């Protein structure tokens, strides 16, 4: 079936790096040696490949002394920083599983994801340590907390990160990574939301990640030939996010400089772009919107930019064209991928058309199917499905959801609607899955609906995404009141805000209706509600 004429194949993949991530990192970090790979834009601290390797080996040995090894999970709950990367490298050196956490998670969300990955050690920043101390008291799987920096909360047994690294200055050449089964050993558990409303833990294997190193080597070969040795990339997208994490990891393997931005602020972002002569931006669409609309940008000389790439959320054709005209860059493009596909599997190179997310990458297969599962031809819209060595192992602890996503023939069903043209370039049209994309964050309507249904004055609820030029989509709720009960829009908003993180707030508003429209089987007719929302917002704005 994989030789069907409407199944598109990427170029054959020649594997050069069929090795564990630990062995790979030991090799490349020794080769790059004096290259500055990480720079902290706040402290200006520079970390060379040699320093990163020395500290990572020291940390890896400490992890082993804590009886952490293959099959165990290590988490980080922190903003982007150099220690985050060192912790990831150390985890790979001992072939344990790296499971980063979103610092913005509320206690309820944290409890859920911790039950998925069950980390034995959690590394925290000064901003998250107090929150995690509360969890350590109730979660028996957490053996120890480590805090980045030199200080710890008083009267606690928290380990100070700098104490672990104390005195390390040279690379321990005797250190070896364990031999493992690349296809079975889970390298990362990164969270991805699904239609159930709760985050799922996506298990990517060592083979998934090492394969992507080879894929990137081939896909970006032309760029590498023209690469400036001093070329720097921004570490802006959160490292707990699959896009941010993989870009950080691939940049270490690439041996080039990454300037880490802990928290996005437009002025410091622009200062960093100019100071480090950033030539290639790889950022989510909300950052690009600011570049186009904020007057502060006009005060900066950004003529050094040569390329802009977007990911994590769709980039509209109009914005793509405006970026090209405004900044005179040679290339503006967007790629398509999921946490479940390791990273991008549709990638635009030099010949991309306006609005295209590119072609299928090396070593992968893609098809667009109709409702019966039949592969469709050019310019026919259907669900995108992928197969190949970049597909995840599955969802941790959830074989049912895994089987619903990856069929018996190994095809991953994305829930996204798209098509390809005669030149085999792909375009994303819509989503079958009902995720709302707010500033590159995934928001599951079912999670919000489940919470709203717990309110004593709410009988029924439905949440949809309201299109918004700046944010992409805003969560908007339709609410049916219980008979004899009263509740206001502000009360509903506060009810959500008190429980869920910032990206899940009802910024699109709350509208009270008599009945939620559903089909005969009870499924919410979201398209009807989206259309109604646009009209309601127009009316509300005129009042």
C-alpha dist (Å) from residue 336 to 139, 245, 353, 446: 36, 16, 14, 24
Interatomic CA distance for residues 71 and 67, integer angstroms: 11
Per residue in 463-491, pLDDT (tens digit) is 999 988 888 899 999 999 988 999 999 99
**What pLDDT does residue 104 have?**
84
**What pLDDT does residue 541 have?**
59
DSSP secondary structure letter of residue 266: H
- Give the pair of three-digit tokens for residue 35: 């290259």
**What pLDDT does residue 174 have?**
96
C-alpha dist (Å) from residue 222 to 9, 225, 226: 20, 5, 7
Per residue in 14-32, pLDDT (tens digit) is 888 889 999 999 999 999 9
Whether the pLDDT of residue 196 is over 80: the answer is: no
Per residue in 110-134, pLDDT (tens digit) is 999 999 999 999 999 999 999 999 9
**What pLDDT does residue 222 have?**
46
Cα separation of the two ends of the chain? 57
Mean pLDDT of 212-231: 64
Mean pLDDT of 341-356: 87
- The interaxial angle of helices 107-117 and 129-136, nearest 10 deg, is 60
Whether the pLDDT of residue 315 is over 80: the answer is: no
**What pLDDT does residue 310 have?**
85
C-alpha dist (Å) from residue 234 to 105, 117, 257, 284: 24, 28, 9, 12
**What pLDDT does residue 537 have?**
65
Whether the pLDDT of residue 419 is over 70: the answer is: yes
Whether the pLDDT of residue 228 is over 90: the answer is: no
Burial of 9 (0-12, 13-18, 19+ CB in 10 A): middle
167 or 261: which carries more pLDDT confidence? 261
Query: Would you place residue 106 in the very low, low, confident or very high pLDDT band (cuts 50, 70, 90)?
Result: confident
Interatomic CA distance for residues 262 and 420, integer angstroms: 38
Whether the pLDDT of residue 192 is over 50: the answer is: yes
**What pLDDT does residue 519 have?**
59
Segment among 178-192, 386-400, 519-533 with least mean pLDDT = 519-533
Q: Of all residues in the chain, what percent carry a pLDDT higher than 70?
A: 93
**What pLDDT does residue 311 have?**
78
Burial of 260 (0-12, 13-18, 19+ CB in 10 A): buried
Strands 186-193 and 336-337, bridge-based pairing: unpaired
Segment among 9-23, 50-64, 120-134, 506-520 with least mean pLDDT = 506-520
**What pLDDT does residue 186 have?**
98
- Give the pair of three-digit tokens for residue 14: 């020649």
Per residue in 420-458, pLDDT (tens digit) is 999 999 998 766 667 788 987 878 787 888 889 889 899
**What pLDDT does residue 223 have?**
45
C-alpha dist (Å) from residue 249 to 48, 183, 212, 455, 475: 15, 19, 11, 43, 32
Mean pLDDT of 274-288: 87
365 or 417: which carries more pLDDT confidence? 365
**Average pLDDT over the chain, rounded to an integer:** 89
Whether the pLDDT of residue 300 is over 90: the answer is: yes
3-class secondary structure per residue, 111-150: HHHHHHHCCCEEEECCCCHHHHHHHHCCCCCCCEEEECCC
**Contact yes or no for 165/58 (Cβ under 8 A):** yes
**What pLDDT does residue 198 have?**
73
**Measured over all CA atoms, what is the biggest interatomic distance in the chain, rounded to whole angstroms?**
73
Long-range contacts of 396-400 (CB under 8 A, 24+ apart): 396/116, 396/117, 396/186, 396/189, 396/200, 396/201, 396/202, 396/203, 397/116, 397/201, 398/200, 398/201
Q: Of all residues in the chain, what percent carry a pLDDT higher than 90?
A: 62
Per residue in 387-410, pLDDT (tens digit) is 999 999 999 999 999 999 999 999
- The interaxial angle of helices 21-32 and 82-93, nearest 10 deg, is 130
Of these ranges, 202-211, 230-239, 509-518, the one predicted with the greatest mean pLDDT is 202-211
């Amino acid at each position: 079936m994989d030789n069907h004429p409407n199944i598109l194949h990427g170029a054959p993949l020649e594997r050069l790096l069929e090795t564990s991530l630990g062995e790979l990192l030991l090799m490349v970090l020794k080769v790059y040696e004096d290259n500055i790979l990480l720079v902290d834009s706040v402290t200006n601290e520079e970390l060379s490949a040699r320093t990163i390797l020395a500290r990572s080996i020291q940390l890896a040995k400490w992890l082993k002394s804590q009886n952490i090894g293959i099959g165990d999970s290590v988490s980080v709950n922190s903003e982007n920083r150099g220690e985050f990367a060192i912790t990831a490298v150390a985890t790979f050196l001992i072939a344990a599983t790296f499971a980063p956490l979103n610092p913005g998670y509320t206690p309820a969300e944290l409890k859920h994801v911790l039950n998925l990955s069950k980390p034995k050690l959690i590394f925290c920043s000064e901003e998250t340590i107090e929150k995690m101390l509360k969890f350590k008291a109730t979660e028996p799987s957490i053996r120890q907390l480590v805090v980045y920096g030199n200080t710890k909360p008083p009267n606690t047994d928290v380990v100070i990160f700098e104490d672990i690294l104390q005195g390390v200055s040279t690379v321990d050449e005797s250190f070896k990574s364990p031999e493992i089964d690349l296809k079975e050993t889970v390298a990362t558990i990164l969270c991805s939301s699904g239609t159930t409303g709760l985050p799922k833990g996506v298990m990517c294997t060592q083979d998934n990640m090492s394969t992507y190193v080879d894929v990137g080597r081939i896909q970006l070969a032309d760029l590498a030939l023209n690469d400036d040795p001093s070329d720097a990339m921004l570490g802006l997208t959160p490292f707990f996010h699959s896009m941010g994490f993989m870009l950080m990891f691939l940049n270490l393997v690439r041996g080039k400089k990454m300037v880490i931005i802990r928290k996005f602020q437009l002025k410091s972002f622009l200062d960093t772009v100019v100071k480090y002569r950033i030539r290639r931006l790889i950022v989510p669409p909300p950052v690009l919107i600011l570049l186009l609309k904020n007057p502060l940008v006009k005060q900066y000389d950004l003529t050094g930019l040569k390329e802009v790439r977007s990911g994590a959320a769709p980039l509209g054709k109009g914005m793509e064209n405006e970026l090209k005209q405004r900044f005179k860059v040679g290339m503006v493009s967007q790629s398509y991928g999921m946490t479940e596909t390791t990273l991008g599997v549709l990638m635009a190179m030099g010949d991309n058309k306006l609005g295209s997310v590119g072609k299928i990458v090396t070593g992968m297969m893609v098809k667009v199917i109709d409702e019966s599962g039949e592969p469709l031809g050019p310019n026919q819209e259907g669900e995108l499905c992928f197969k190949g060595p970049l597909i995840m192992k599955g969802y941790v602890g959830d074989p049912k959801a895994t089987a619903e996503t990856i069929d018996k023939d190994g095809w991953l069903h994305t829930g996204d609607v798209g098509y390809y043209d005669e030149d085999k370039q792909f375009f994303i049209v819509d989503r079958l899955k009902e995720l709302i994309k707010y500033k590159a964050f995934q928001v599951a309507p079912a999670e919000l609906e489940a919470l709203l249904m717990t309110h004593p004055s709410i009988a029924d609820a439905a949440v949809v995404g309201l299109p918004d030029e700046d944010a992409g989509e805003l969560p908007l709720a339709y609410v049916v009141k219980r008979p004899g009960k009263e509740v206001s829009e502000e009360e509903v908003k506060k009810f959500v805000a008190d429980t869920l993180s910032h990206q899940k707030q009802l910024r699109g508003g709350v509208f009270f209706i008599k009945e939620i429209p559903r089909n005969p089987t009870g499924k919410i007719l979201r398209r009807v509600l989206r259309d109604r929302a646009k009209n309601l917002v127009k009316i509300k704005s005129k009042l």
